[in-house]
Structure 1
Amino acid sequence: MHGMNSFKSIILILSLIFSGVFFMGTGLAKPESGVGTSQKWAVVNGFRSSQFGMNERDVIKAIKSDFGIAKKQISRKVHPNEKTITLGINVPRILPDSGPAKIIYLLGYKTRRLIEIKIIWGRPIMKDPNAKAVVATANQLGNYFVQKKYQKEGFAYNHQLGEDVYLVFQGKDKKGRVVRLLLTNPKSEDAKKSGENIALTLSYIEKPEDPDVYRIKDGDF
């Protein structure tokens, strides 16, 4: 019974967060001044020491500087369709009590330079994710990002996209670079395991409308 009450509490927290109850003190600025609670524009240029435009060697150095992770501990894969390179690392935590996360650094197909960074909590990083911790992390990050100013176009805060998908935050800086925070909580076949598939993905994207990925062009086929 105690377990059921815990899962009910998690679902209640989810509903409260996305109804805006947990986002206290974050009123929106006037539309003509951009969107956010601050007059200071957001600058979306990467994550920590890893900045958009870096080559693979520099990204590896940045990972070492930020997390103390050596090159041999970094996974490297080439996407079969997009022909991009992904560098992946696992970290025990990024924020207090946020739990383990996977960070993926994406290098463009033509430029071979950093174009996107993803940070993932919950499934599939953990077999049994702590749903309450994942939701708390979403709440903390949403509150953090909304403090800055963003373009009106494409801005979203606390927006439900589907039954189990929530766009906690999305904003573009002056150069059109995007930060996006997406929470998914697919239903479990076992009602007693609500929240077992929860996942939170934070993305920093340099060119969301024109990513450097492989595409078949007219005349190529």
Structure 2
Amino acid sequence: MSVVKTWMVLFLSALLWMPLAQAKEDPTPKQKPTAFQVDGYKGAKFGMSEKALLATLKKEFPEAYKDLVTVEHKHNQQKVFSLRLENLIEGAGPAVVTYFMGYRSKLLVHVNVTWGDLVIPDSQAKFDDLKVAADLLTNYFQGYRFKPDSLVVGKMQSKQDILFFKGRDDKNRELRLQLSVRGVESGQKDKAGKPVVEPRSFLQLSYIADPENPDIYRIQPGAF
């Protein structure tokens, strides 16, 4: 089976088994779901300075903090901090949590939590494992209240990407959960001498302070 066909089988299978909203009527009254606040990830809150963020990460993840990585995002011109966390979700393997500081504000504006062997080479989690994690996270977030007109659940973005969940809070901050697969050369060749391409997957959970106007470098209107 070709890599493209493999992707399609995986993705169609994922769509068929995605969790559906409960249609049954519950005769007992339910409390209104709590509004989810997309204000950052764990103790790292949007608007934190670099100093405050690093102090929080050191306190919250003392072991992982020892291997904290700092880079400059060349395209967006943002300072980025990353650390690796183990066993956030059972079976999903390690995750890399990435914190983006705003280009202008120099404050925390975006956090990604990413699992999968495309991003973490030594991860043993494959597509099916990440699909289970995506289901669990989707069920979790569906237990909270988001702006109704912002909700998206189980949308095929492309042949390689499924948007499992998207929602915005009352301040228009966005949470996104996307499962993706890409073809990567394995380093081996087939009988015809062509590179063997294998599917690699990643699951990304994003917390975004301002999805409409991200604090990144842009060429200003009229500059050219």
The interval holding the TM-score normalised by the smaller chain is 0.7 to 0.9
TM-score when normalising by structure 1: 0.79
Determine helix, strand or coil for the equivalent of 1:153: helix
- In the alignment, is the contact (CA less than 8 A) between 2:156 and 2:162 conserved in 1? yes
1:74 maps to 2:68: yes
- In the alignment, is the contact (CA less than 8 A) between 1:77 and 1:86 conserved in 2? yes
Q: Aligned ranges for residues 47-62 of structure 1 at < 5 Å?
A: 47-62=41-56
Distance 1:12 1:143, change over 3 A: farther
Give, in angstroms, the shift of residue 53 of structure 1.
0.5
Give, in angstroms, the shift of residue 160 of structure 1.
0.7
Paired residue total: 203
User: 1: distance between equivalents of 2:124 and 2:198?
Assistant: 8
TM-score when normalising by structure 2: 0.79
Distance 1:71 1:127, change over 3 A: closer
Q: Aligned ranges for residues 82-161 of structure 1 at < 5 Å?
A: 82-122=76-116, 123-127=118-122, 129-131=124-126, 132-161=128-157
- In the alignment, is the contact (CA less than 8 A) between 1:79 and 1:86 conserved in 2? yes
Give, in angstroms, the shift of residue 51 of structure 1.
0.4
Structure 1: stretches of 5+ with no match in the other structure: 5-9, 29-36
Distance 1:143 1:134, change over 3 A: same
Determine helix, strand or coil for the equivalent of 1:18: helix
User: 1: distance between equivalents of 2:14 and 2:42?
Assistant: 27
User: 2: distance between equivalents of 1:53 and 1:13?
Assistant: 39
Distance 1:41 1:70, change over 3 A: closer
Distance 1:121 1:71, change over 3 A: closer
Larger Rg: 2
User: 2: distance between equivalents of 1:116 and 1:146?
Assistant: 21
Tell me the equivalent position of 1:18.
15
| Corresponding letter in the other structure for 1:99 | G
Distance 1:13 1:57, change over 3 A: same
- In the alignment, is the contact (CA less than 8 A) between 1:155 and 1:172 conserved in 2? yes
**Identity fraction in percent:** 25
Report Cα offsets for 1:96-118 as digits up to 9, x if no partner. 22211111000001111000000
